[in-house]
Amino acid sequence: MPELPEVETVVRDLRAARLVGRRIVKARVFWRKTIADPAPTGFAREIRGRTIQRLARRGKFIVAELSGARTLLVHLRMSGHLDVQPAKTRPRRHDRVVWTLDDGRQLHFADTRKFGRVWLVRNPAHVLGELGPEPLEISSAALAAGLAARARQLKPLLLDQTFLAGVGNIYSDEALWAARLHPQRRSDRLTAAQAADLRRAIQAALRKGIRNLGTTFGNGQTHFVLPRGERGRNQEQLNAYGQTGRPCPRCGTPIRRILVGQRSTHLCPRCQRQPKESR
């Protein structure tokens, strides 16, 4: 499941593939619902001839600035995958959109579960405008103020993209574990020190994910794999996420899995105590 570190890794990989400066000569859409905006026919027509000028990331969105004041936005959601293929590669089973570049190479958007979305817009704020701050850039004061301004359970709040842009299920569990905070603690009841701990933990978890080239589960068919087909290695270093029943690396208590806001959540019941006043 691509979150901030995985998307950052994809963007860096695409930059390394030297897509910037290439012109898009053709777009083929194999699954219409993948194109969120505009309509699929207009999408193919409007993107043709535009040059990729810059590749960036905002939250979990991949942002490609194109010539002629257009922006291509890609959200991988659950199973989306971008990779660069040689000229004349035939579309594969799960390809939803394929762009052909002026050097013949193709950019493939494959997406097994079809949750991923692609936009071609004049104004990216139309899509990105509601996103909260970048977690790697937010100040301690801003995060503390944001936590205090809401009365939410920590875990759903961290997953709320209008609160912080880019944190998902894996890294929120890892951050809460590192900060020793129960996922259902109320956001407005943290001490200043706990808020500062949480910020450090979020940033450390994300930076570690980026260093490890992301978290890869499964075979890449349903889970994250780098554009060049490599696997990340963060899954080998997780402390809480997916570790149900295994000993907490800090205290040895078995990691427990609970549901919070319909999302599976992993925690150490001893390190991450739920204070009475929070529920």
Query: Residue 187: helix, strand or coil by DSSP?
Result: helix
- State yes or no: residue 123 binds DNA (CB under 7 A): no
- State yes or no: residue 234 binds DNA (CB under 7 A): no
The question of whether 114 is a catalytic residue gets the answer no
- Cβ atoms within 10 Å, residue 186: 18
Q: Which is nearer to DNA, 41 or 162 (CB)?
A: 162
Among 159, 202, 226, 271, binds DNA (CB under 7 A): 159
Q: Could you give the CA distance from residue 255 to residue 129 in angstroms, rounded to a whole number?
A: 37
The interface region with DNA, picked from 76-84, 133-141, 190-198, 207-215 by CB under 7 A, is 76-84
- State yes or no: residue 212 binds DNA (CB under 7 A): no
Site for DNA in 27-46 (CB under 7 A): 33
Q: Specify the DSSP element, H or E, that contains 200.
A: helix 192-211
Residue 70, phi then psi, degrees to nearest 5: -125, 155
Q: Which is nearer to DNA, 49 or 91 (CB)?
A: 91
Among 15, 45, 92, 113, binds DNA (CB under 7 A): 113
Q: Could you give the CA distance from residue 238 to residue 217 in angstroms, rounded to a whole number?
A: 12
The question of whether 236 is a catalytic residue gets the answer no
The question of whether 60 is a catalytic residue gets the answer yes
- State yes or no: residue 79 binds DNA (CB under 7 A): yes
Q: Cβ distance 264 to 169 under 8 Å?
A: yes
The interface region with DNA, picked from 12-20, 136-144, 197-205, 258-266 by CB under 7 A, is 258-266
Sole residue written with tokens 């989306």: 80
The question of whether 5 is a catalytic residue gets the answer no
- State yes or no: residue 256 binds DNA (CB under 7 A): no
- State yes or no: residue 191 binds DNA (CB under 7 A): no
Q: Which is nearer to DNA, 26 or 246 (CB)?
A: 246
Given 2, 124, 156, 183, the catalytic residue: 2
Shortest spacing between CB 123 and DNA, in angstroms: 16
Given 263, 269, 270, 273, the catalytic residue: 263
Strand partners, 258: 265
Closest by CA position to 101, among listed 87, 91, 111: 87
CA 133, 128, 92 angle in degrees (round to 5)? 120
Site for DNA in 9-28 (CB under 7 A): none
**Residue type for position 279:** R
Q: Which is nearer to DNA, 18 or 113 (CB)?
A: 113
Closest by CA position to 81, among listed 42, 34, 124: 34
Task: Quote the strand ranges of 59-205, DSSP E.
Answer: 61-66, 70-75, 80-85, 95-101, 106-111, 117-121
Q: Cβ distance 166 to 3 under 8 Å?
A: yes
Shortest spacing between CB 221 and DNA, in angstroms: 4
Q: Where on the chain is the footprint of DNA (CB under 7 A)?
A: 1, 3, 33, 59-60, 75, 77-79, 93-94, 112-115, 150-153, 156-157, 159, 161, 168-170, 186, 218-219, 221-222, 261-264
